[in-house]
Amino acid sequence: MLEPSLLDKRILLIIGGGIAAYKCLDLIRRLKERGAVVRCVLTRAGAEFVTPLSVSALSGEKVFQDLFDLTDEAEMGHIQLSRDADLVVVAPATADLIAKMATGRADDLASTVLLATDKRVLMAPAMNVRMWQHPATQRNVAQARQDGVLVVGPNEGAMACNEFGPGRMAEPAEILAAIGAALAGPAQSLAGRRIVVTSGPTHEPIDPVRYIANRSSGKQGHAIAIAARDAGAEVVLVSGPVRLDDPPGVTIVHVETAAEMLDAIKQALPADALVMAAAVADWRVARENAQKTKKQAGSGPKPLELTENPDILATIGTSSQMRPQLVVGFAAETENLIENAAAKLKKKGANWIVANDVSPASGVFGGDRNTVKIVSRDGVDALPTLSKAEVASTLVSRIADFFGDDNRHSGGQAG
Ligand code: CTP
């Protein structure tokens, strides 16, 4: 386990009301041992589980409990308290605290500090397994993540309430490692690399008002662009039509059709890597109608004549001139995942295929989570079910490993 030095780092620890609050006393001790300055906010419910006296004795600091405490406000207002930290840690993060974070409520000191802070927030959720699994909590966690809150745990195991499952707060050593990682910031492992990422569906026009499309939301592709940017890469994101904000700090090229996407990629090359996360339409209409196609009374609809789109991944992956050193494709499959992905790896000249199950039951399209397998010549690497942001950061660290390794043993171009 990572044992970071936290010399002079200022941690604001918000202790919520859960049985796991006792673990915070150990966390405070470990933080202090590593040189951190720890200030604590104890919620009213938190004070039912640990006493202000033990928190202040271990932290060596005054404990903050009340939003309307006149002395506290005179000495250090809640706004200053929220800013005067390098990192805000919420542990245990109860269902109630997470709901407040997700909705921006500020009705006590803890939630007000969380809304007022301009620092990163790391939370360690802890609650009963059913409360954790409740769609409302999952929605709130997803929202908090989207707002940039970092999450450690919860772990699976036996709970104080005699139930079993996810909901146990991460152990102090795990929280400590997450604090170290959050304070270190993302490693610039792709500094100096240029990466082209594609995202979203393509729209293939039938006439001026209709088009052929697919269900891709672009969430996975955009998350990869963001993760590559955070790792220091120069990123060009070629995106089909999506309902997502343009990520700051990347060059974005908006396209509609597969043909436009191929052109945009050619323009963006040369690059070190191409990640084809877009769900490119395989076919387009052979002859796009210049005018809106009208109904013909009595004669029924005219069949649509389709023609094949260029296979972008194969075009670039098998080109001796254009091919980046690393080419990553995706394989959206509803059956025979590995076989189909392995076939695509070969046919399209990719180093890796990130295979995902997009059968309706998987909820991948439009959802926030993804279960993928990275298929390369070396074999199959099955990742657990992760958020799309986590899939993206895992993939980006694999990409960084690839470039960190001169021999590029992790799957050269498939032949
Ligand atoms: N792809 C591409 N150009 C196309 C079709 C797909 O570049 N015209 C890329 C996708 O971006 C993805 C990979 O190829 O990285 C696999 O896409 P997928 O839709 O799963 O495969 P297809 O080749 O369309 O095969 P099939 O529809 O038979 O599953």
Which of these ranges, 56-65, 68-77, 271-280, has the smallest mean pLDDT?
68-77
| C-alpha of 371 from chain center | 13
Integer Cα distance of 323 and 19 in angstroms:
55
Q: Which atom of ligand 1 is nearest to the CA of 332?
A: 20
> pLDDT for 322-344, tens place per residue?
999 999 999 988 889 999 999 99
Exposed (0-12), middle (13-18) or buried (19+): which is 120, by Cβ within 10 Å? middle
User: Among all residues, which ones are annotated catalytic?
Assistant: 161
User: What pLDDT was estimated at residue 365?
Assistant: 67
User: What pLDDT was estimated at residue 2?
Assistant: 39
Integer Cα distance of 268 and 234 in angstroms:
11
Q: Which residues line ligand 1 (CB under 6 A)?
A: 258, 276, 278, 280, 282, 309, 311-313, 329-332, 344
User: What pLDDT was estimated at residue 12?
Assistant: 97
- All residues at 6 or more sequence positions from 252 whose CB lies less than 8 Å from its CB, including other chains: 236, 237, 238, 239, 246
> Is the predicted pLDDT of residue 159 greater than 80, yes or no?
no
Ligand 1 probe mutation, 199, 266, 311, most atoms within 8 A of CB: 311
> Is the predicted pLDDT of residue 299 greater than 80, yes or no?
yes
User: What pLDDT was estimated at residue 364?
Assistant: 67
74 falls in which pLDDT band (50, 70, 90)?
Answer: low
The more confident residue out of 408 and 380 is: 380
| Residue that the structure tokens 């499959």 belong to | 333
The more confident residue out of 236 and 163 is: 236
Handedness of CA 201, 204, 208, 209 (dihedral sign): negative
Which of these ranges, 13-22, 271-280, 294-303, has the smallest mean pLDDT?
294-303
> Is the predicted pLDDT of residue 366 greater than 80, yes or no?
no
User: What pLDDT was estimated at residue 133?
Assistant: 94
Which range among 57-71, 182-196, 201-215, 400-414 has the greatest average pLDDT?
201-215
Integer Cα distance of 171 and 124 in angstroms:
9
Ligand 1 centroid – CA 280 distance (Å): 6
User: What pLDDT was estimated at residue 412?
Assistant: 42
Beta strands in 267-323 (DSSP E): 273-276, 283-285, 306-308
User: What pLDDT was estimated at residue 415?
Assistant: 38
User: What pLDDT was estimated at residue 59?
Assistant: 96
Q: Residue 106 has which token pair?
A: 């500020």
Ligand 1 centroid – CA 309 distance (Å): 10
Residue among 273, 278, 285 at smallest CA distance from 253: 278
Beta strands in 114-229 (DSSP E): 120-125, 150-151, 155-158, 164-168, 194-199, 204-207, 210-212
Q: Which atom of ligand 1 is nearest to the CA of 308?
A: 8
Q: Which atom of ligand 1 is nearest to the CA of 353?
A: 15
Averaged pLDDT for residues 375-403:
91
Residues above pLDDT 90, as percent of the chain? 71
Integer Cα distance of 246 and 56 in angstroms:
45
Q: Which atom of ligand 1 is nearest to the CA of 340?
A: 29
DSSP strand pairing (37-42 vs 10-15): parallel
Averaged pLDDT for residues 61-82:
79
Name beta bridge partners: 41. Answer: 14, 64
Averaged pLDDT for residues 251-259:
98
User: What pLDDT was estimated at residue 1?
Assistant: 40
Residue 11 DSSP SS3: strand
Domains assigned to the chain? 10-184 (3.40.50.1950), 194-404 (3.40.50.10300)
SS (H, E, C) 313-367: HHHHHCCCCCCCCEEEEEEEECCCHHHHHHHHHHHHCCCEEEEEECCHHHCCCCC
Ligand 1 centroid – CA 402 distance (Å): 23
Ligand 1 probe mutation, 266, 315, 344, 353, most atoms within 8 A of CB: 344
Integer Cα distance of 156 and 60 in angstroms:
33
176 falls in which pLDDT band (50, 70, 90)?
Answer: very high
Averaged pLDDT for residues 218-236:
94
Ligand 1 probe mutation, 262, 282, 354, most atoms within 8 A of CB: 282
> Is the predicted pLDDT of residue 398 greater than 80, yes or no?
yes
The more confident residue out of 158 and 304 is: 304
Nearest-CA residue for atom 24 of ligand 1: 282
User: What pLDDT was estimated at residue 406?
Assistant: 42
405 falls in which pLDDT band (50, 70, 90)?
Answer: low
Which range among 60-69, 116-125, 354-363 has the greatest average pLDDT?
116-125
Ligand 1 centroid – CA 279 distance (Å): 7
pTM of the predicted model as reported, rounded to 2 decimal places: 0.63
75 falls in which pLDDT band (50, 70, 90)?
Answer: low
Ligand 1 centroid – CA 212 distance (Å): 15
